[in-house]
Structure 1
């Protein structure tokens, strides 16, 4: 039996989709072609078969008796063909990248923005690990890391993101109780100190020209998350990293106590050796997102 050269699997598929929706326009949207292309393919199919598949003339698109029978016969075959092709279709290659990010940077700044990358790179799996905030080293089990360094490692690529900058902050109630006269804080002013930066308040005081009270109460904590949480609860004033802690300011749970900021002698760097195309895409996204974020 000779094969009709006009036979078109594409035409049969267009016919089945149009029959299922009862609309050339809706079929065109699913098939990513124009409605006129759907109509043209079905017309060619009708000419090949010598049969009218849809009843013309009404406002609704209805199958003829021949069209209804063809739809019933062909639909299972199209589904089987799609299933067979899916079994042979090669799945996209996946890659995995592990990045180590210091805890406060990770929770407040990095993870809230990570969806922007994963949504556009669905085949790249990102594993985020957090580790000791004070260790100035690139973890050996990470492909990339974002960490604070006075001097970044010389044996691998290091890209500067931004210097550690801190702003004095406290709860709204703490701010209302604060009294400053003649460049000196005259009210009760307990401070919260991150153990990694024990002299930060003294440095800020000297840079800002604001004298801190004598014999003030000091609360020492070993993580930045705990420091900011303590400030939120009204325990005292804290030096909060910006722009990393900006979400706390935006929601109003902590507020700035003074405009003067302290720029520390350490900076956030993106560190890690050169890698494959996936790794370099991730590195480029981080630099584009976080170098210009401030």
Structure 2
């Protein structure tokens, strides 16, 4: 790491002069005088202890060192500009940051975001998905809605829904003998051992097959006809309604509990209250509550 860096203005002046091939044009672009550009480049050459331009009257051309520095400088300035523009997202006055799992976002929340936007056009929702539960104390998150969270300091915690699970597959697999159907395996409650203990019903599940750590991918695979799976009633509601999934048994077994964490700094916000009210109503409609 360099102990001292050349001034940013000097790098901007150099980049403009090198790109335009003229100190005069660089000065016009940056709204400076030509002498100011010349001074910036002289200071940069002094810092680097080598010339960056060949000077011949009013014309200038890059030295080999100048060509090398131009590539580095343009990349640096471009990354800096992108980074600064990206910071604009933190200035939105009506932004609400909601953390959830990729599976919940894709299979439950995304199909309902249009309804949310129609009801709350004033809220700029930032959907932040992670595989692991967030640390609400160290991350900028207003609400977390997940099936793998517990109480945390500085947050209110509440269980919203206790999910149910059932075995299902794409309807075309029903034309095959049960023994010929592939089996899709998941983690935690999505594992078939959970079904065996809770329901004790044989629906043709096998000990081998495809394995998934993401319940959303497990559901996608079942919807594409890759095999039978133990799926979440909450997440599979849209797929079943669309004819992509057919239950293999009427039995439903215990699934994960969906809960929310609301940071105390966000609890009183009308944005938070609006999202939470909408979420409760939407969950109630799809669970018969």
| Offset of residue 240 of structure 1 | 1.3
* Gap regions ≥5 residues in structure 2: 1-91
Per the alignment, residue 182 of structure 2 pairs with: 190
Asked if residue 204 in structure 1 is aligned to residue 190 in structure 2, the reply is no
| Offset of residue 248 of structure 1 | 0.9
Per the alignment, residue 113 of structure 1 pairs with: 112
Matches within 5 A, 1:218-257: 218-257=209-248
Task: Give the SS at the match of 2:180.
Answer: coil
Inter-partner Cα distance in structure 2 for 1:107 and 1:145: 15
| Offset of residue 267 of structure 1 | 0.7
The Cα offsets for residues 64-90 of structure 1, whole Å up to 9 and x where unpaired, read as xxxxxxxxxxxxxxxxxxxxxxxxxxx
> Alignment RMSD, CA only?
2.6
Larger Rg: 1
The Cα offsets for residues 25-62 of structure 1, whole Å up to 9 and x where unpaired, read as xxxxxxxxxxxxxxxxxxxxxxxxxxxxxxxxxxxxxx
Inter-partner Cα distance in structure 2 for 1:245 and 1:107: 11
Contact 1:189 1:217 in 2 (8 A): no
Task: Give the SS at the match of 2:251.
Answer: coil
Contact 1:196 1:222 in 2 (8 A): no
* Gap regions ≥5 residues in structure 1: 1-92, 180-186
Inter-partner Cα distance in structure 2 for 1:271 and 1:96: 17
| Offset of residue 129 of structure 1 | 1.5
Contact 2:203 2:248 in 1 (8 A): no
TM value normalised by structure 2? 0.58
Per the alignment, residue 144 of structure 1 pairs with: 143
| Offset of residue 215 of structure 1 | 6.1
The match for 1:267 among 252, 257, 282 is 257
Per the alignment, residue 13 of structure 1 pairs with: none
> Of Structure 1 and Structure 2, which has the larger fraction of its residues in helix?
2
Inter-partner Cα distance in structure 2 for 1:114 and 1:215: 37
Inter-partner Cα distance in structure 2 for 1:248 and 1:152: 31
Task: Give the SS at the match of 2:257.
Answer: strand
Inter-partner Cα distance in structure 1 for 2:224 and 2:286: 28
Q: 1:117 to 1:213 in 2, by over 3 A?
A: closer
